[in-house]
Amino acid sequence: MRASRWVRCGVVAAMVALVGACGGGGATDDNSALGHARSGKLTIGVARDQPGLGFRDLNGHYGGLDVDVARYVAKELGVDESGITWKDTQMEQRGTMITSGAVDFVIDAYSITDGRKQTITFAGPYFIAGQDLLVRLDDHSITGPETLNGKKLCSVKGTTSAQAVKDRFAKGTQLVEYNRFSDCVTALLASIVDAVTTDDTILAGYAAQNPELLRVVGKPFTQERYGIGLKKGDNASRDAINAAIEKMISSGAWRDIVQRNLGGGGYKIPPPPQVTER
């Protein structure tokens, strides 16, 4: 009788070790995003220099659409903001941050592409944007991507935006790349480059900061489906995040978040997306 009880206890202990459920609140050995969320903590990669999407102010506070969506998703996974560790991302490092385990997920205007899906898993999309051009207010020679021949076009390393313009519209465009969009905007203001290209959401934020100097051309020419990037094969976390996104949309919270962060400056809010990554 005693031996049987010890056997049963040993089996239970082994099961607890596997699922990390000892006492109902212990640490977990599950290194997925969902596993970390069960322990009340998440590490999330976000941008720090994209007005309206992801930014960090002088007091170290994070804000923007991506950050608010991340907060909502984390809450739905059981993690309060006090349990979130924010990690600044650079666009060319997003995939590495995910695959190395430096973050649980990245939400940083991260367009879902077939190429990226070879190495990471996406949840979403949670927003659909379009690629556009940011130019100086007094420059009327640039009216769309096809007018960029002979011009210097700036974008950020690790994105496909500038190369897409060169490949599809203006082969005579000279590409200039920096680490951050804020560097591109500085170069534009200094007339080092003639235009900046990325998603209209990001460009609208910079134009709103400098309305007397900059403008968005306003002719988006791609569709960018923003997803939440996870470690490849982390399907349980993807499904949980998808459920959170769908609840955010159906409850009206999505529209409130988008309006709060992008509703100014005449930006036309698109309809909510349909979650398709399964």
Residue ranges per domain, the chain?
A: 28-129+224-262, 131-216
All residues at 6 or more sequence positions from 120 whose CB lies less than 8 Å from its CB, including other chains? 95, 98, 99, 229, 230, 231, 232
Q: Which CATH superfamily does the domain covering 28-129+224-262 fall into? A: Periplasmic binding protein-like II (3.40.190.10)
Strand partners, 133: 197
Residue 222 has pLDDT above 70, yes or no: yes
pLDDT of residue 265: 61
Residue with tokens 């134009």: 207
pLDDT of residue 267: 75
Helix (H) or strand (E) holding 222: none
pTM to 2 decimals?
A: 0.79
* Cα–Cα distance measured from residue 232 to residue 250, given in angstroms and rounded to the nearest whole number: 28
pLDDT of residue 91: 84
Mean of pLDDT values over 168-195: 94
User: Edge-to-edge, what's the strand order for the sheet holding 105-111?
Assistant: 84-88, 42-46, 105-111, 224-231, 120-129
Tens-place pLDDT, residues 7-33: 444 443 343 333 333 333 333 348 899
Indicate if 131-216 has the same CATH topology as 28-129+224-262.
yes
pLDDT of residue 20: 37
Tens-place pLDDT, residues 128-164: 999 999 999 999 999 999 999 999 999 998 777 888 8
CATH number (2.40.50.140, 3.40.190.10, 3.40.50.2300, 3.30.950.10) of 131-216 reads 3.40.190.10
Residue 3 has pLDDT above 50, yes or no: no
Of 19-23, 62-66, 117-121, 266-270, the least confident? 19-23
Q: Quote the DSSP letter at residue 173.
A: P
